[in-house]
Amino acid sequence: MLILVITLLVTWLIVAVIGFAFEALFWLAIVGIVLFVGTAAIGFARRKALHR
């Protein structure tokens, strides 16, 4: 599970960087940031639940 979350975080970070690199794809950067934050929050919540 942790490997999947890390892979998704890296993927969303790459998508955000590509979006910022090309100004025409600025929307891609926004989507990448939103997905990065969402994945990080879900991963943190599930990891916290596993330790209970």
Rounded to two decimals, the pTM is 0.77
Q: How many domains does the chain have?
A: 1
Q: Report CA Rg, the chain.
A: 13
Tokens of 50: 């596993």
Q: What is the pLDDT of residues 9-33, one digit of tens each?
A: 999 999 999 988 988 888 999 999 9
Eight-state DSSP code of residue 14:
H
Tokens of 52: 């209970």
Domain range for 24: 2-50
The confidence score (pLDDT) of residue 24 equals: 84
Closest CA to 36 of 6, 13, 2, 3: 13
